Structure 1
């Protein structure tokens, strides 16, 4: 269980969409500093926000960030990409890019910041998954989120001895630019951010943000044919 007031956080992909909402919610709850990353960051109005250039597919950039942000005790792995093409028709380069960003990117961040979290008392690692972690029919994106879910569950075990809380977050579609063209019911980024930070402060291992995630999680015990969506 981590207290957000006076905490120092890192949010990847923190200048737009869900990442921006999470960064803002951290500040509203009293975080002392929030590092926010983007491939092309823009200056921030709030002096507590430190924009940093980062591509999570670049190991050297991640290591450089870890060397700079040694005061972090909350890490939110939010950066991601979405290529909705079916697996058999997608450009192989897009499939590889999806896994490099959505799977190996968060793992690189976790590996770089695990020692920092340990040195700062344990802290929390938050991985943003999706209801599509459990649903077939969404190409490389869903497959990548399924892989990240598995990685998060393993990291929870590996980081437990150092006292790091590992939180996996699942949600349906949030109202962000990434899914602007998808005709589906969407929840507000602020609602997602509130659920995520409630989970951190309550010591949760998993956060199911909305009803669609709760239904899909419950369906895992049923026939695999019921675990299908389309976008």
Structure 2
């Protein structure tokens, strides 16, 4: 089903969410999406987001390099979408402080939940960072009374297999920010996780 994600979410969300939200302004065939990658928050400048209008959005610059390090030669968000991979954020407004408050994560849960429900054929969810992990665990607990990913350092649990029903869930690290490309160990772990995610998708 062809749908503009932003228009869909705006039409279904309570008006109190206001106009400050950064929602993915992209038209996609929702039936073809097999994987959702959930990052932390959108950038201060919307043009630097995954679906931003700048010539080379900051978020796509790091994402592109992580995919390329995993052996996946992508150049833009359209090529990632064509592979059946949709990228979004757990919280829909830029970070206001160093950490994202749990209250804000909970406030945005209905949006993320509605967004995930757009895609009936999801086989993989990648949780890029602790904010995404917290948000997805809360969604899972509402439906099953259980979290999907246990607490603990990501590097200790990322090699384990987690499932939400039939959906494979990968805990990983935030995929945006200039430091990602400098911190080689973290960059390598993210790329390894992306590579494993692609193996799952290619086996379908």
TM-score of the superposed pair, with normalisation by structure 2: 0.40
| RCO comparison, higher one (Cα < 8 Å, 6+) | 2
User: Which structure has the larger Rg?
Assistant: 1
